[in-house]
Each structure stands twice: as C-alpha cells, then as structure tokens.
Structure 1
Amino acid sequence: MIWNRAVKIFCLLGLLAALAACGSSAPEQTAGTGGTLRAQVVSLNEQSFPQFADFPGSVVSAREVQVASRLMGYVEKLPVHEGMSVKAGELLLALDPNDVRAGIRQAQAALAKAESVLTDAAANYERFLALYQQKAVPQQQFQQVEMGYKVAQGDRAAAVAALEQARAQLAYVEVRAPFAAVVVNKFIDVGQLVAPGQPLMTLQSAGALQVQVQVSQQAYDQLQLGQALAVTLNGRGGAEQIVQASVARLVAAADPMTHSHTVKLDLPPESDAVAGDFVRVKVSIGEDKGMLIPLAAVERRAGIDGVFVLDADGRATFRMLRLGRVTADRVVVLSGLVAGDKLIINAEGDLYNGALIEKVQG
C-alpha cells in the first residue's frame, strides 16, 4: 500500500516536471539571427545648441494716432463710426464754423480800418515831407509825422496777418484723416463742445500690422534691427499660425518696474492677424551645452520616458531620462545619459532589457 502511494507521488512529480518543460518558452527573438536584434548604435557626446525663450505679445497697428482739433467749437458733423475704414483726407468731423467766420469778418473790418488810417498817414507824410524839404516845418514835427506813418504801416501789416490767420482757422473747422485708417475709438458726439488738443477719436493705419512684445535683457542683447523671429499667432478658427516677423524697433530704455525692453516687429502681409491678437515670440537667449538625442529614440515604459543603451556585454539596457525642450526632431536630455553612452536607435524589432544587439551601419 505504501509502495503504491510512493509510485503515484513519483509519477505525479514527473508529470508536473514535463508540463513545466513544455510550458516554458524560448528566449524572445526578433529580427536578426541567433536571437539578436539588429540596430544602429550611436556614441553620445555633449553638443552646443541654441536656447530660446517665448515672450507673450500682442498685435498692434503699425501706426496709431489720437485725432484732436486745433479749435474750440461744437461738433456739427460726425460722418464716421467705430470700425469704419476711411481714406486719407476723408472728413472725420466738422465744427460749427460760425465763430470762425465771425472772426474773419472782424479781421476784415480791422484791416479796412488800418488801411484807411494808413491812407491818411501817407498823405500827411507826403505833405510834411515837402514842407520839411522847404524848411517850412521844424525837424521834430516832421519826425513825429514820419513816425505816425510808420506805425500806420505796421498796423496794416498786422491787420493783414490777422486776417490770414482768421481765414486759416476756417480750414481747421474740418478734421480729416491724415492717412488711410480704421476708426478704432470715438470719444465725441454731434453737438458736443470740444477743446483744442482734446482727443476726439483713435485711428489705426489699415493693413500694416506689428507685434509689440516685452523681452528680458538677456533676450534684448541678442536682437538687432531686421532680424527675423518666429511668431506664433492664434489664427482664425483656433489654429495656430507661425510666421517670420522682422525686428523694426528696439527700445533701449528698460521698464523700471519689470526691467524688460519693448520690441516691435513687422508682420508679413500674409499673416491672419488682426490688431489685439495675442501672440508668442521666440527669441534666442544664447547657447547651452548638453545631450541631444533623436526624439524617435525615446520610449515610454510604464509612464516613464527612457531610451535603450548598449551595455558592456552588448545587450540593451533601459535607461530612465529627464527630458527638456524639444528642438525639431531632437530632444534635450537633462539627466540620465552621459558622454560616451551608446544609444540604440532604429532597432529591427521591439527592444527589451537584456536583448542582444547586433550593430549595423546606418
């Protein structure tokens, strides 16, 4: 009985061993021969690469003015409205001209009076000149008459100038667009009394647009007039548009609060931007050194970024990485790799820890 039980146990153990042998799989094999993976191997070295920083900015009109009047008066005509496009020389507003015309009439009357006085003074001067030449009047009396004549001449000249000025004021009754523009803001209405220099409306030039951005001192030092910078626009429909804008103005004086500099860029005509749009401007802030690897070599395993490197035994080893900025098809490695590491790329199969690597030429 005991013998039979021992035989059964022995047979059972043998069966389990056989099943285990059948269930075990051979080592993973992929492309290549002899259970190896064919792949390229790249020896890593530190490289110099440019550093960039993004600065927020906004789209502004290349030319913006606050329209004001040179006269005081009541607004009589206001043919424009906000958002309206106007041509150069087009009427923006007109003031009531009655006060100006009254000033012209007053100046005309003053001129007529000055001319009448001058006529009498001239006749008196001619008479006293003849008497003085005949020594019929004393020199002092003649000089008084002569002085009166010269004063009358001066008064007439002043009256002429006053009339010209009064007539010139009539031209200022109408305020016209200095250039082709869009009316952005309007601060007055018909019937309102306006004063000289008071802002009446804001005009922005039509078409030409610029980007205005505040950059750090480090970025400012890298810029020069005419330099092209990448500007990311929030295009119509939410799609981003990247355009090249040229540096048009560099303001040397820094903001005392933020220590940043104002930079203006000319946008190309083909951009979809409109005034007020938010943009991002990429500016070089110098160079740095580090490890750059192909972005395609990075794998994500269990939520961890890493790459496979070749160890001393010629096998693949997964190395965890901390990654930085992506530049085109490469990425900066902040930690996890050192110069001399051998990076495995373009493997002809799925890489795994311990895989034997057969190096091939790229």
Structure 2
Amino acid sequence: MNIHRNLYLNAILIVLAAVAVTACTGGNGAPRMAGAATVTAMDVLSKEVESLDSYPATVVPVNEVELRPQLSGYITEIFVKDGETVKKGQKLYEIDRTKYIASYHQAKANVSTAEANLAKIEQDVKRYEALREQDAIAAQKVDYAKADLQTAKAQVDAAKAQLSSSTNDLQYSTIKAPFAGTIGIHQVRVGAQVSPGQPLLNTLSSDDPVAVDFVINEKEIPRFNRLKREEQPDSLFTMALSDGSKYPYSGKVIAIDRAVGRQTGTLTIRLSFPNPEKDLIPGMTVDVKVLNQDHGKQIAIPYKAVVEQMGEYFVYVVQDGKAHQVRIQLGSIVGGDIVVRDGLKGGEKLIVNGIQKLREGSAVEVVSNN
C-alpha cells in the first residue's frame, strides 16, 4: 500500500518538474531569462523602393478657344462633323457672304475712284505751279488746287480704310480653325441666325500635347521649383487613368502658377503629356505620380514596428539581450513598410512584434526572426 503511494507521489513530482522546466525554457528547450519580454525581430536591410507621391489632377487643353461669330447673318455652311479633328486654317463655318462680297467690291471700286481723282488733282497742281512761275495764273487758284489735293488724299485714305474693313468682314464670314485640334459638338445648324458674339458655335481644343493640372501644398513649392529648373528624367512624372491603368507616356513641368491661393494655401502645377492616341480628353480626372526622395535603394521597415511618442518616432533594436530605443526620421509609406531616412544604417536587429510593453533597457528574448 505504501509502495503504491510512494510511486504515485514520485510520478506527480516528475510531472511538476517537467512543467517547471518547460516554463523556464519557453517550450523549446533553451533557458529563458527571468522577466524577459518575448519578442520577434528582423534584420534591418536596404532594398529597392519605388516611392511615389500621388496627386489628383485634371486634364486640360494647352490651347482652347470658343468659336463665336463676329458678323450678323445666317449660317450657310458647316464644313466639319461633330468631334472631328481639324487642321490649322481649315474652314469650319460660313455666314451668308452675299452682302459682304458686295460691300467688298463697292469698297474696292471706291478706292479706284478716289485714286483716280487724286491723280487728276496732282496733275492740276503740277500744271498750276508751272504757270505760276510764269505769272500766268493767280496765286489763289494754285492754293485752291493744293487744298483739293489734300482732300483727295484724305478721300483715298478713307476709301482704303473702308476696303480694309470690308475685307475683314468678308474674311470673318468664313470661320477657320486658329490651330490644329479637335472640335466639339456643334451648337448651331445650317440656317441659324447669328450676330456678333452670339451664340457660341463650338469649342476647339488642342489635343497633342495636353496639359495636366494639380495642386500642391505651399510647403512643397521649393521641391517643384527645383524639379522645373533641373533636367527632368522620363520617369519623374507618370500618370494613372481613372480605371487604374498606367498611362504609357511620362510628363514634364511646363508651368507653375504665379501665386499661392490665399484661402487654400495651395499652388497649381501644370504638366505636359504627349497624347498621340487621343486617350486624354479635357476634363478627365487622373492621378499624377511623382517620384520622391525615397525612390531607389532605401532602408524600409514594417510600419507596425514604429512607436510614436509626443510627435517623435522610435523603434526598438536588440543589443545584448536588451531593447534599446532609437529615434528615427520617417519617409514614405510603401505598402506595409515605411522608409527610414535617418536613424538606422542597416544590420540592426529590429523588434517587430511585442513592443507594446517595452521600455528602454527592457530585457527581451527573441523567439523568432522574421
């Protein structure tokens, strides 16, 4: 009876001893420091990073003009279809030219008449001046002839001015494209009556290249001023379309607005993008992607390893079995990682999990490496 009891007690002691050993080794057979926090860690390494700043942007034409009539009359011809691509100088609309052609010919005839009258008076003046030298004509008659000469010259100038006006009217009766681009949907049809400035006939926009506008915070102005002055690599400005696809051509800075908005504190930046396939249409919303300083070979760590304290950022690294706090300067977020611009050099053992209860100098045990 006593023998069985002793055997039972010995078995219990063996089990308790095994539990104690397990508790002291952490379950993997290695001794664990008393009071040490269990953490996981990783080696800090540099890796290639594509870090982009994204800005919502709008496609705008480099050149755009509203086509409006400058004369009164009826639309007699529309030479292009809705949405057609046109060349510079191509005919677009024609206003009834009948009266403008008549006015042009009348003005041209008036110039001829005035010039003929001027030539006659010039001959009279020459003849009268020759007779005056011989005292064969009264001086007053010569003076009258010279006055008529001045009047005739003024009449020629007036006739030529009228001819110029009539010529312009005749030219304005045919509305042509001031530059190459794409025309919109016609706002009038043949037979519509128009007057100077009214109504809007159509809008013409240039389409290759196009501009893309976005706004930046005033703190970013020095950066974009440098980008404009320096040579811009092809990959500096890229763009994503509204469906998420990447636009195949890169852009360049062509303009920075003259002033920061007083209420918004922002400044407009204008890029130029090639548009040979006409994929970009004015008014489209896109995302401009700009490479930032964190692009290339960088130290990037999991964002969850970062601790914020009173506006400053820290991480914990393992040295001699203890956690040591290191202040860092953060850069861009790339996926689940964040770039560290200063504070880590690479090669450190960074604590990733188990940082919630750590303090400077806390004893730690690394149970696994990521």
Paired letter, 2:223? Q
Distance 1:268 1:311 in 2: 54
Q: Give the TM-score of the pair, scaled to structure 2.
A: 0.65
Distance 1:308 1:216 in 2: 33
Paired letter, 1:264? R
The residue aligned with 1:76 is: 76
95 and 7 in structure 1: CA distance in 2 versus 1, 3 angstrom threshold: same
Cα RMSD for the two superposed structures: 5.1
285 and 206 in structure 1: CA distance in 2 versus 1, 3 angstrom threshold: closer
SS in structure 1 at match of 2:333: strand
CA distances 1:150-200 after superposition (whole Å, capped 9, x unpaired): 322431343244334423432222122222201146444431303159753
Q: CA deviation at 1:293?
A: 5.4
Deviates more, 1:81-90 or 1:174-183: 81-90
| Structure 1 unaligned spans of 5+ | 44-50, 301-305, 348-352
**Equivalent residue for 2:265, pick from 255, 259, 264:** 259
The residue aligned with 2:256 is: 250
Contact 2:183 2:202 in 1 (8 A): yes
Paired letter, 1:354? E
Contact 2:108 2:163 in 1 (8 A): yes
Matches of residues 218-257 of structure 1 in structure 2 within 5 Å? 218-224=219-225, 225=228, 227=230, 228=232, 230-231=236-237, 233-235=239-241, 237-240=243-246, 244-257=250-263
Distance 1:294 1:285 in 2: 15
The residue aligned with 1:47 is: none
The residue aligned with 1:96 is: 96
258 and 199 in structure 1: CA distance in 2 versus 1, 3 angstrom threshold: farther
Q: Give the TM-score of the pair, scaled to structure 1.
A: 0.67
The residue aligned with 1:310 is: 318
Distance 2:324 2:160 in 1: 98
Distance 2:256 2:198 in 1: 29
CA distances 1:73-123 after superposition (whole Å, capped 9, x unpaired): 332222334422112222111111122112123314433543564466456
Distance 1:99 1:118 in 2: 28
Contact 2:240 2:289 in 1 (8 A): no
Distance 2:12 2:246 in 1: 64
Deviates more, 1:206-215 or 1:51-60: 51-60
281 and 115 in structure 1: CA distance in 2 versus 1, 3 angstrom threshold: closer
Contact 2:303 2:338 in 1 (8 A): no
Q: CA deviation at 1:143?
A: 0.7
Contact 1:226 1:246 in 2 (8 A): no
Contact 1:76 1:94 in 2 (8 A): yes
318 and 185 in structure 1: CA distance in 2 versus 1, 3 angstrom threshold: farther
Contact 1:244 1:267 in 2 (8 A): yes
SS in structure 2 at match of 1:178: coil
Q: CA deviation at 1:126?
A: 5.9
**Equivalent residue for 1:354, pick from 346, 362, 365:** 365
Contact 2:301 2:340 in 1 (8 A): no
Q: Among the aligned pairs, what percent are the same residue?
A: 23
Q: CA deviation at 1:248?
A: 0.9
Q: CA deviation at 1:223?
A: 2.1
Paired letter, 2:270? K
The residue aligned with 2:140 is: 140
